[in-house]
A and B are shown apart, each in its own frame.
Chain A
């Protein structure tokens, strides 16, 4: 599917470019804009980004594949991230992860058929003192237990 940055985003890119002495340095923020607009980073997004920033296509591809927060496929409307790293694990992170997996019927990296949910087991999100946690898209939900985590899923529609 063809991808072009929206007029608004092109203006934002102008602003971003002012922050760095090279155009390549803008690739991470520009990819975030693209992801916001398109939902995920498709091949077309990478080609368009490379063309706008005068970068080699393979360099853009290299950046997209290095960083976990760029989605390489279409994700759910609600991207559920469950931390299972040590501090969360010690306080029930895996119970939450297992319960979420069962409720959504998804495994790590899966997207539901209706594209409503996607699930990711994530590494430490910096919520160790408020563990365990899940994140829905950009929002953190902390100090959870299994029941609270499932309630959060129920509240999403």
Chain B
């Protein structure tokens, strides 16, 4: 099976090896085309964003205004902080030049003179590797002023590596821009969207590292080739990062639409000790979890996962065996979102804290069944009521984990009191001195 993003070529991260294998030829060919042609190719290829939302990359590029003298910017998102996601790190380590080449082509297509590759601060080692690759590319004239000679074009751009400093929220595109601007990483209200009002108020496009790394092969081999790989509605390969209770965890580049069971049993070599699977989170910790008995026939692409009530997210597959304590897992997930909520929107700031408190109560064995409904109520009051998607990301695991694994949670709570309205009426009747006769 062909690898697009992580080719199995020794020392591919080195510039000379990359060039020997046709590196920077896609950029050369891109400069012979118009920007519209390139955007059209990417659109037709069907490439969808790999950062979570799976939005059409070509369409996103086409939102950039054409007749506008404001400077334009490209941000490449390598913040990668979603628990269960560790794929971009592989690209930074094993294929940084394809990322750089993709960045150059994207800059040309949208008319950006500067690109910022934002990498999470904890990735010290991988930031150094990327910076080395960027420096090498500058030296060879693939980036910067010398591009004009190297590629025989009028276009030139600069690529800068920006190091984050430990904030999950900076993976959210508007928060990422605020972070580059030197502010607290608060998400912005949308609209205006980044294509109108992004970095320093200028038109900006934000793409994930993996998305951008897919660009050079698409330009080189054509959209027909790319769109024929995997599922037609979400074509190409996806980097699946498998973690948890499997024998062989790691990142596997596979065509979209690969069966989830194949990923777990064939590539990740099955569950440790041949245990049964209780739960799989298919796309990083914010995505709705699937039950072990729901996995058969599930394909890993955006549309197929949506159909079974989950989402592709960042392709981080977290596998939990039959002995996993899901109450503790959910409490840990809640702790993460409580810690990472930026505090801007009340539902998320307060709601994540309350969900964590209640889940910790459940872990201590002090929860009641009222708490389960209360958790779902809080989750539903966060979802959709915040500026950015962190609210949803915090709400979904709680909502879906309790809905889909209710028996696990019922087992640790004390009584069976239900909060259904009819019970409220029922309890009124049993009040010794009701204020008024209850009408049924």
Contact = CB atoms under 8 A, between A and B. Distances in A.
B182 A90 contact: no
B242 interface: yes
Given A63-B182, A85-B332, A90 B244 contact: yes
Interface stretch (B75-83, B100-108, B415-423): B75-83
Contacts of A139: 124-125
B165 A69 contact: yes
Contacts of B324: 90
Interface stretch (B84-92, B353-361, B372-380): B84-92
A28 B125 CA distance: 18
Interface residues of B, number: 53
Interface residues of A, number: 43
A5 interface: no
A44 interface: no
B181 A128 contact: no
A69 to B, nearest CB: 4
A135 B425 CA distance: 56
Interface in B306-324: 316, 318, 320, 324
Given A29-B163, A66-B167, A59 B336 contact: no
Contacts of A123: 81, 83, 168, 336, 339-340
A62 B244 contact: no
B273 to A, nearest CB: 13
B181 A24 contact: yes
A82 B190 CA distance: 36
Contacts of B86: 126-129
Nearest to B319: A90
Nearest to A81: B122
Contact of A28 (B84, B163, B342): B163
B225 interface: no
Given A29-B163, A90-B244, A123-B81, A130 B249 contact: yes
Contact of A67 (B125, B165, B243, B245): B165
A91 B71 CA distance: 48
Nearest to A131: B243
Contact of A85 (B123, B165, B336): B336
Contacts of A31: 165
Contacts of B160: 19-20
Contact of A68 (B162, B163, B167, B200): B167
A105 B163 CA distance: 32
Given A24-B182, A90-B324, A91-B244, A128 B124 contact: no
Interface in B214-269: 241-245, 249-251
A138 to B, nearest CB: 4
Interface in B103-141: 120-125
B166 interface: yes
Contacts of B165: 28, 31-32, 67-70
A128 B241 contact: yes
A11 B121 CA distance: 22
B244 A87 contact: yes
- Which residue, of A91, A124, A131, has the highest number of chain B Cβ atoms within 10 A? A124
A63 B285 CA distance: 27
B398 to A, nearest CB: 14
Given A85-B332, A89-B329, A90-B320, A69 B122 contact: yes
Nearest to A23: B182
A86 B329 contact: yes
Nearest to B83: A124
A26 interface: yes
Interface string A9-52: 00000000001111011111101100000000000000000000
Given A89-B332, A129-B249, A138 B124 contact: yes
B185 interface: yes
Interface string A52-84: 010100010011001111100000000000001
Interface string B271-291: 000000000010001000000
B15 interface: no
Contacts of A67: 121, 164-167, 185
Interface in B333-350: 333, 336, 339-340, 342
Interface string A86-120: 11011100000000000000000000000000000
B185 A86 contact: no
B182 A85 contact: no
B213 interface: no
A126 B332 contact: no
Nearest to A140: B125
Interface of A: 19-22, 24-29, 31-32, 53, 55, 59, 62-63, 66-70, 84-87, 89-91, 122-131, 135, 138-140
15 contacts: A20-B180, A20-B182, A25-B180, A63-B183, A63-B184, A66-B167, A66-B342, A85-B83, A85-B336, A87-B84, A125-B122, A126-B120, A128-B318, A129-B243, A138-B125
Given A25-B181, A86-B318, A126-B81, 17 more contacts: A26-B182, A28-B179, A66-B342, A67-B164, A86-B332, A87-B83, A90-B243, A123-B83, A123-B340, A124-B82, A124-B85, A125-B122, A126-B89, A128-B83, A128-B243, A129-B242, A140-B125
Interface of B: 71, 80-86, 89, 120-125, 160, 162-168, 179-185, 200, 241-245, 249-251, 281, 285, 316, 318, 320, 324, 328-329, 332-333, 336, 339-340, 342
